[in-house]
Structure 1
């Protein structure tokens, strides 16, 4: 058997190679040693933990030097049980370090057999090539576990961050609704009452003076401004938080978004296309919130800046992914000029829409593709793997 075969070599193969009665392959996390594989197998193998630096196996894991013991009697009761040792029974042992990248010790190969046949240096030389390959495999597995742990933690933090953002938006929206809009509605009512009072004064005096006319004009202007502020605040509340998204899900929220955008402007025709056969359920709440914000920003960009006659917002399922699209027939742009997604208009105004979309896509690990040609519109596609 060649050393390259060590990638698939297990404890049973090593026992056969060494003519050993048993082999334990320990993996190290830097603090403790746990069994990655053993032969003969034992149901309690997963319970054994040996501290790095203590005992023969732990010392090999610490100093990286192989050890041959003609006669040994492990003190750990579970360790003795796994070696199938009777009370006071001794055993010949060989412990060889398993090295990963940069000579890092990532485990220990421990073989045992009768004291009548102790291990020798030739056994160490025979097993070391395989130990090197097994060490690399253990190191790769350890790195993979670490990556998965970091990924899981990252996903958890992203969910918390998006949920916190949505909660803050919800709080601000409710504060505006309960405070500012109520005050503006009350202001409009009082201004209307004041206008009526001025009209009654003019009627009672049976004459219209320039002062009263100016007062009425100012009251009318103030009421119009109050109504405008009220409507703009209501629009801001709708933009900050979607109750439809909370209650009915992403598709219903997008339908509401399109209806609001259509009612709020007289230029572009906006439509939503949803594949009726697509199963769009099962999208995590934080991902649905991010997709909704992306659609909101993309639609705002198309309506405000593209000068388009038609805007199409779409959502569909493609394999194991959700694809959100926003296409318009507007003036388009040169993607090379906006690669930073923070282009400056001629008047010096900065727009962060594309940057915001790119950042949200990065958060939920969705791919973003933007295709645009000056004079021929823009297409934005976001693909979210589920």
Structure 2
């Protein structure tokens, strides 16, 4: 007996002894075969013979129609003359108006008896399927079901991989955007302050040199001393400005309060720093039952960043009179909330498009919040409407 080596198929899987739709059609002397995969409450076609360009768009509901009932009841069906009402389904079966078809639908079990699909075979009503056909189809059901189960698992893996790659890409983009923001802050704030300090110190140094040379004299000399004092006072103010802006940039990178005093103190610090004269009133409420010590360090850091983002958005964009930040325990979850009475917005538009600042600089806003939630498997709920304020709720499972 000669051994043969199997080569992977183009999609990376190994060739299988499981018959495809064309082979099944030949086996049952059928006009066509549709192989359905159950995904939640829908059935979708994963293999069809003869091929049809619209096969991928047909979605049948579990429990409705012949195929859906087979998926729900797990019982095979033989019909001598059927006339499906779904127009796309009829096109896939290549039926003319008022034309009927003989059908055989067999449930396909996967691992541990889980229902994963339906085999649907059809041919002319002149040659209805009989018990021998059904016995033959049921002999293949387990093999076809295992293949479909593997197909479904592969699809799930592919979806998770795609989602993971998307999150990684967006996380990197968010990091780069944050670096650009910090660079702009340093350039427009600290660098400008340092350049002004240099100018004022140079002016003071020039005046001191003139005073050392004995000029000017009289009243002009007193004016020169006053000028030096004024330059030094201005420089001192610029030093304070550069110091505060540097601290703000460092705080934007990492919260020392979070490390030293924990999540509650860090959010309290955010609330205090976000307040401004003429701005909205900002309150922070903590549920006494919320044991924040149960929140892992990485999750606490993510919740802090989310609080920072939603609070910043509310202060800058909501035109609210009052903002309420809350941290509470709900069952086995920690819930962070931010509610305002501002102008509100359309959440769908905001989540699918990056907002633009007035100066054209991009910021990630709620998309950044959604990405952080996805990475720590927290749920995000946004309730808002134009003129009705905004509520953002982040629920983090603790177990």
| TM-score with structure 2 setting the length | 0.49
Aligned position for 1:135:
144
Cα RMSD over matched residues? 5.5
CA distance, structure 2, for counterparts of residue 245 and residue 168 of structure 1: 23
Correspondences of 1:300-319 after superposition (within 5 Å): 300-319=312-331
Q: Which secondary structure state, in structure 1, belongs to the residue aligned with residue 47 of structure 2?
A: helix
Aligned position for 1:151:
160
Note the residue ranges of structure 1 that are not aligned, 5 or more in a row. Answer: 1-28, 33-50, 67-97, 109-121
CA distance, structure 2, for counterparts of residue 135 and residue 356 of structure 1: 47
The match for 2:267 among 254, 272, 283 is 254
CA distance, structure 1, for counterparts of residue 7 and residue 284 of structure 2: 55
The match for 2:254 among 230, 241, 246 is 241
Aligned position for 1:379:
391
Correspondences of 1:10-21 after superposition (within 5 Å): none
Aligned position for 1:327:
339
Cα distance, 1:296 vs. partner?
0.9
Q: C-alpha offsets along residues 321-365 of structure 1, whole Å, 9 cap, x if unaligned? A: 443221234x424538964665668xx445756x52234314533
The match for 1:225 among 224, 229, 238 is 238
CA distance, structure 1, for counterparts of residue 36 and residue 386 of structure 2: 55
Aligned position for 1:296:
308
Aligned position for 2:75:
none
CA distance, structure 2, for counterparts of residue 202 and residue 223 of structure 1: 22
Note the residue ranges of structure 2 that are not aligned, 5 or more in a row. Answer: 1-5, 25-34, 38-45, 50-107, 111-130
Cα distance, 1:371 vs. partner?
1.9
Correspondences of 1:92-241 after superposition (within 5 Å): 101-102=46-47, 126-132=135-141, 135-136=144-145, 138-144=147-153, 146-148=155-157, 150-151=159-160, 154=163, 158=167, 208-241=221-254
Cα distance, 1:231 vs. partner?
0.9
Cα distance, 1:275 vs. partner?
1.7
Aligned position for 1:47:
none
Q: Is the 8 A contact 1:315 1:324 kept in 2?
A: yes
Q: Which secondary structure state, in structure 1, belongs to the residue aligned with residue 384 of structure 2?
A: strand
Q: C-alpha offsets along residues 264-314 of structure 1, whole Å, 9 cap, x if unaligned? A: 656433222122213445556555444322211221233334444432111
Q: Is the 8 A contact 1:162 1:290 kept in 2?
A: no
* Greater Cα offset, 143-152 or 357-366: 143-152
| TM-score with structure 1 setting the length | 0.51
CA distance, structure 2, for counterparts of residue 163 and residue 283 of structure 1: 25
Q: Is the 8 A contact 2:345 2:384 kept in 1?
A: no
- With over 3 angstroms needed to count, the CA separation of the structure-2 counterparts of 1:164 and 1:359, relative to structure 1, is closer
The match for 1:357 among 358, 361, 366 is 366
Q: Is the 8 A contact 2:283 2:324 kept in 1?
A: yes
Aligned position for 1:273:
285
Cα distance, 1:238 vs. partner?
0.7
CA distance, structure 2, for counterparts of residue 166 and residue 337 of structure 1: 23
Q: Is the 8 A contact 2:7 2:14 kept in 1?
A: yes
Q: Is the 8 A contact 1:302 1:328 kept in 2?
A: yes
Q: Is the 8 A contact 2:290 2:334 kept in 1?
A: no
Q: Which secondary structure state, in structure 1, belongs to the residue aligned with residue 343 of structure 2?
A: coil
Cα distance, 1:227 vs. partner?
1.6
Q: Which secondary structure state, in structure 1, belongs to the residue aligned with residue 284 of structure 2?
A: strand
